Each structure stands twice: as structure tokens, then as C-alpha cells.
Amino acid sequence: MTPSAAVTAPKPAGPLREIRGPSAYGGGPRRFLNLTWMIASTEFRLSYFGSALGYLWSLMRPLLFFGVLYLVFSQVLRFGGGIKAYPVLLLLNIVLFSFFSEATQASVTSVINRENLVRKMHFPRMVIPLATVLTGILNLALNLVAVVVFMLLYGLPVRWTWLLLPLIIVPLIMLTAGVAMLLSSLYVRFRDVAPIWSVVVQLLFYASPVLYVATTITHLGNRVVEQILLSSPLAVLLEQARRWIVDPTAPGAIESTGGWELFLIPVAAFVAVCALGLWVFNREAPRIAELL
Amino acid sequence: MNEGNATVEIAGVHKTFRIPKQHVHTLKERALHPFRRTEFIGLEALRDISFQIGAGEFFGIVGRNGSGKSTLLKLLAGIYRADGGSIKVAGRLAPFIELGVGFNPDLTAVDNVVLNAVMMGLSPREARARFDDVIAFAELGAFLDMKLKNYSSGMQVRLAFSVMVQADADVLLIDEVLAVGDAAFQQKCFDAFYRLRDEGKTIILVTHDMEIVERFCHRALLLNAGAIEQIGPPGKVSRRYLELNFEHMETELPTGSRATAAKVSDAWVGDEDGRRLDAVSPGERLVLNVELDVRERIETPTLVVWLETREGVRLFFASSLETGPPPDAFEPGERVHLRVRFANALRAGRYYIGASLGRAAPADDIVFYHPHAGDFTVTGDETYGLLMLEHEVELELDRGLERTPR
């Protein structure tokens, strides 16, 4: 057998392209979106179609959590009496906050969990944390259906401002994605990010107006602490959701942070988190496969 | 090779891994020692690598463990980023690295195959259209809805290989696929290699198996300690590779080896005119040559040579005793050359030449032993069986027998 005889001068398929190694994005937007959707939807199917009760479990989690909190705070501690439609607000807050906490916590280990993929395939690395967030979004969408049903059953009057909900959801998703990118890339280097973040999420739960509302905070007495709590992007989003969805007489985001000037603090924090997440992930992406 | 034909172009590529001396794995340690500078050891995996691969070339990359083969492949696949130099590839690339293509063990074969195709740049619809071919090639039709973690490792490799072969890529990167899998799978790989080669695909194969390199590759590249040692015809490259390994074996002989009394200076297979051959055909008249440098006085020596397979199955022995009674002694500094003429009955494959030296006095024992003193390849497409015995076949049909009634 003379191997060289087999060469029949085939032409190269297309022009030479530079291979620059892995990156956060790149490889075309279509492929990026297809891939993110594929990973997120298979993940979503995997978590619900595997068990007998399927999706019901995903619905049960926030509902059970809501049930417990409602019993403890509203019935036992007699809390929330002065808040209009407190049960509805509580459920909405829990669903929104759960999306943030579950998506970010799942994203921490997301890159490491897909080590197999990262070490063997070339693809935009950002797909992984974003797909984790997208799985959370699918959950959130289904849970919001439950919230709407609950709102109608509760007898909340239908208002056109309900249509503004995407203006809450979209920034919430962006914030979650920013945190997800930051955490997933940091976790590759520092393995204690996971336990640290689970504590931080606990803290955020009580530091954000989930169980209470912005006006409750203003009873604290310490101006600085009040301002910090009210200026977190999460607090702003939850407060605005309350005004648009549950109670039009509630102060809303701008008023509760204390006016236009002070409202720039949460906006800046929001932009900073998103930018930091993007920057760190982008910086780490080319080397993730080597650090695994 | 003409410039315009290049499908892969690598110019001046460097890659250094930074290995930290103490691994800081937690934020806690970072926070406790904020000013401690982490020291790194630079591990130079690849140095100044430049070469081109033409369209339709079957290109082998060989080298000892740690020579940088896999790093080079990962750079090509876009999994690592090069520190310097440029890598250019024309067309779509399908990698097969570390025995897989990145499957998720919790998903079924269906989901994995589609996901993988999307990862390589196909749309989900195109990916589903391709699915049947992949499964047919992998012969896994009965296990489609099983989660991949329930597959045997052989089945997983089969599926991964099938995904890569059916990806319709222009350039295939294949890392050590033949190290696993049973004979049937290996045969399937070989068939696929032949087919892809005939289709004009560019194939880059990383392997330790010189037999494969000589059988399939148009050209090969030998890496040694991160640099190009040799690039050229597979026969030449594989010879150099064996030399490199051989130098290595001087210090680290295979288990059971003894090397103080003598040293193999050469062991090879040649033709009857004394020409050295690396690849021979079945049926050829051959001469097995073993040359030993004697280092210690060996009384009443007997030199035994043999052929064995890669698996260590010994196929044939010949002894210096067949020439008559042993000489009184071999003295230090002498060179012994044993020739064994034989008609090659071996089928295609790679075979090793073993040699041992025994003595009758002062004690009856073996003073030198080396199972891999040399090796050679028998070429041919027929890989069934080990031996090609001289034979005749007769077929007789007896139609007179009664058939069993239904």
C-alpha cells in the first residue's frame, strides 16, 4: 500500500479561518441561541419529566414555601395586617425571589458540572450559565401562571398595569444573568463560592422586601441602613412589582428609594453587577478548560 | 505541499500552562493572605510549532506521553487558547477528544446526539435529520431512549465516534479512538478511516500505534517534549518514534528485562539481500536479524530470539543451538549477529522481536532478556487471524443427504 498515491488533490472547504480558542461568546448568534435553548430545555425536561409528579413539584416548591411563610407571619405573628392584599404580594415576591435565588445557586456549579463538555468541545462558554438562567425562566413563567390564577381567585381587580410585568422581569433576568456569570466563573477558581453564596442568598431573602414592604424598613430608625436596604436592585424591582401588580397606592421604586437622585444608586448597582459579571466571565472564558 | 491547498495552517504556536505552586482553591485563603503572590511554574507544553496539512490529507500526530499531542489537538479544536502564533483551519471541524465528544450522561442518546450537532453549528432541525445515520452507524438502535449513563463504556465510545464520523465535517480530529473498543469496533473504525480518506476529508489522528500510522497516514508528525522532532512520511516518522522510545528503554526496560550482560545494538527484519524493512507483506521471504553487544564474559552462551504480538503472545522461537553446540564463551566487546531466515506467515499487524541470552556455566540461567528488542509491521488488509499458513481450500457439496422432514 503506497499511501501517497491516494491523494487526489481535494480542495479545502472554504477559506482558512483563524482559531483563537474558546471565548465567552462568538460562533454566530444563531448557534449561540440554539445551543442555549437546547441545553436549557433538555435540563428543564430532565428535572420534571423524570419524576412521577413532574412539573407539579416545581409548582409545589414556591407554593409550599408561601404556605409556611403565610401561616407563620400572617396568622401566627399577625404580620402584614396593614399591607393590602398581603397573601398575593407574598406569593408574587416569593416567586420572583425564588427565580433569582434558584437560578443563581444553580449557576454556581453549572460550568464545573459540564466539565465533560467544556473539555471536549468548542462552543461559546457563556451558553452554560445563560442556559441555567433560561431553565429558571421557564420555571418562572409557569409559576407566574399560578400567581395570576391566585390573584384572580383572591379577587384582585384586573388592571392594565399588569401588562408592565415584563419591565420587572427583564431587568430581574439581566441581574440574575450577571450574578450567574460572575459566580460560575469564580467557582472554577474558588470552590468556597458555593457555600458563601448560599449564605448570601439567605441574607438577601431577609434583607429584601419579600416578607415585608419598603415602608416597614423606614421604621428601622437608622437612615444609612434603611437607604442601603432600599437601594438594592432586588428591593427596587419588588417594590415596583408591588405597585404595578398588587397595590397601585404603594410607593413604587422611585418613591421608596427616596426620589430620582437616590434612585440612581440601585440603577448604578444594577449596571455594575451586570457589567462585572460580563467582564469577569469574558476574562475567564478562554482558560476555563485548563483550570478544570 | 502547495500553499493554496492548506486546510490546516499552524505557524509559530506556543502553549505554556501555568501551574501554581500552592493551589489557592478558596476565597477564604485569598482573603486571609491577600498579599501572598501565587508562584507559578511554567510548563511549556508546545514550543514553536509550525506546519501545514493539505486538504484530504490523513495526518498522524505521534509522540510519547506528555509530548504535547493532546494539547496540540485541543488547540486545534479551539478548547485551549494558544499563547502565541496562529492556527487556521478551513471548513468545519469535528473533534473526538479524550474518547468522547462531550456527552451528558443524564440525557438519552437522542438528546445527546442532537445537542452535539447543534454544538457543532447545525440547526436543531438539521441535527434531527442526521440522527438516523448516527444511530445506524453506532448500531445502537435498540437503546435510543436509555440514558447515556446506563450505556457501557464501549457503547458510549461507539456513539461518540459515530457522531463525529457522521458530522459531515471537513476536518476530523481524532484522539486515540483505537485504544478502546473490541475488534469489531476497530474494524469499523478502519472502514470509516478508509471511507473518509477516499471522500477527501482531512483527518488528523493522534495515536501511539505506529501500525495505524503506517497503514493510513499520508504524513505524520512526531512531537518530542513539546517540539516538532520530525515531520514527513509515516515510515520515517514511526522509525524515529521507535528510536526515541528505544533510547528511553535503555534506562527503563520492560518488566523482567535484564540488560547488564549484553545490550541489543539492533534488531530488525530484512530481506534476503540484507535490506532493512519496516513494513513487510505476508508470504515474503525474510531474515530476522538480532545484533548484541556483549558486555560481560558469558560461558557456553545460547542466544534465543522470538516474535511476539503486541499482546505478548509468543509466536515463534529460534535458537543459536540450531546451528550446533554453543561456543565456549562470548567475551566483552564482542558483537554477536544472529540471522533467522523464514517465510513470513504472519497476517497484518505489528510484531515485536524478542531476544534472550542464556549460559550453561557457572550456573544455568538467563543473563540477558529483552522482549521488545525491535519491531516491524506486516501490511495487508486482512486482519483476521494471526497466521497466514500455506494452505489450500476445497469445497465439497453432497446433495444426496436426506433432508429432515418438517
Helix (H, G, I), strand (E, B) or coil at A121: coil
Q: Which residue blocks in chain A are alpha helix, DSSP H?
A: 29-49, 55-69, 86-108, 110-113, 115-118, 127-154, 165-189, 193-207, 214-217, 223-230, 233-241, 252-257, 260-284, 288-291
Show Cβ contacts of residue B163 under 8 Å, excluding neighbours closer than 6 positions: B101, B113, B116, B117, B134
Minimal Cβ distance to B25: which of A46, A117, A191: A191
Output the nine-digit C-alpha cell for B395: 469445497
Range of weakest confidence among B26-35, B71-80, B281-290: B26-35
Is the minimum CB–CB distance between B99 and chain A shorter than 8 Å?
no
Q: Which band of pLDDT confidence, cut at 50, 70 and 90, is reported for residue A1?
A: very low
Complex confidence, ipTM? 0.78
pLDDT, residue B257, reads: 47
Q: Which helix (H) or strand (E) holds B192?
A: helix B183-198
Nearest to B88 by CA among B189, B200, B7, B169: B7
Whole-number Å distance between alpha carbons of A133 and A116: 20
> What's the mean pLDDT when you consider all of chain B?
82
For an interface test with A, give the residue of B108, B118, B203 to mutate (most A CBs within 10 A).
B118
Q: Is B331 exposed, middle or buried (0-12, 13-18, 19+ CB in 10 A)?
A: exposed
B window 325-384, beta carbon within 8 A of A: 379
Whole-number Å distance between alpha carbons of A291 and A189: 7
**One-letter identity of residue A61:** R
Whole-number Å distance between alpha carbons of A66 and A71: 8
Cα A276 versus chain centre, distance: 15
Strands B329-330 and B279-280: unpaired
Q: Which helix (H) or strand (E) holds A16?
A: strand A16-18
pLDDT digits (tens, 9 = 90+) for B236-289: 888 788 777 766 544 444 444 455 778 888 889 998 888 888 778 878 899 999
**One-letter identity of residue B266:** D
Give the gap in angstroms from C-alpha B56 to the nearest C-alpha of chain A. 6
Q: Which band of pLDDT confidence, cut at 50, 70 and 90, is reported for residue B24?
A: low
pLDDT, residue B219, reads: 92
**φ, ψ for residue A164 (rounded to 5)?**
-85, 0
Minimal Cβ distance to B102: which of A10, A117, A193: A117
User: Any idea of the CA torsion for B172, B175, B179, B182, to the nearest 10 degrees?
Assistant: -30
Partners of residue B234 in chain A, C-beta under 8 Å: 3
Q: Which residue in B has a C-alpha nearest to residue A190's C-alpha?
A: B26
Q: Which band of pLDDT confidence, cut at 50, 70 and 90, is reported for residue A219?
A: confident
Is the minimum CB–CB distance between A61 and chain B shorter than 8 Å?
no
Is the minimum CB–CB distance between A199 and chain B shorter than 8 Å?
no
Q: What is the DSSP string of A261-278?
A: HHHHHHHHHHHHHHHHHH
- On the question of a cis peptide bond just before residue B362, with omega within 30 degrees of 0, the verdict is yes
The beta strand positions in B257-325, using DSSP E, are 262-270, 276-277, 279-280, 285-294, 298-309, 314-319
Q: Supply angle C-alpha B182, B186, B187, rounded to 5.
A: 120
Count of C-beta atoms within a 10 Å radius of residue B31:
10
Q: How many residues does chain A have?
A: 292
> What's the mean pLDDT when you consider all of chain A?
86
Is the minimum CB–CB distance between A283 and chain B shorter than 8 Å?
no
Q: Which residue in B has a C-alpha nearest to residue A15's C-alpha?
A: B90
pLDDT digits (tens, 9 = 90+) for A126-173: 999 999 999 999 989 989 998 999 999 998 888 899 999 999 999 999
Is the pLDDT at B405 greater than 70? The verdict is no
For an interface test with B, give the residue of A42, A122, A193 to mutate (most B CBs within 10 A).
A122
Stated pTM of the model: 0.73
B window 100-139, beta carbon within 8 A of A: 100-107, 111, 114-116, 118-121, 123-124
Kindly state the average pLDDT of the residues A213-226. Answer: 80
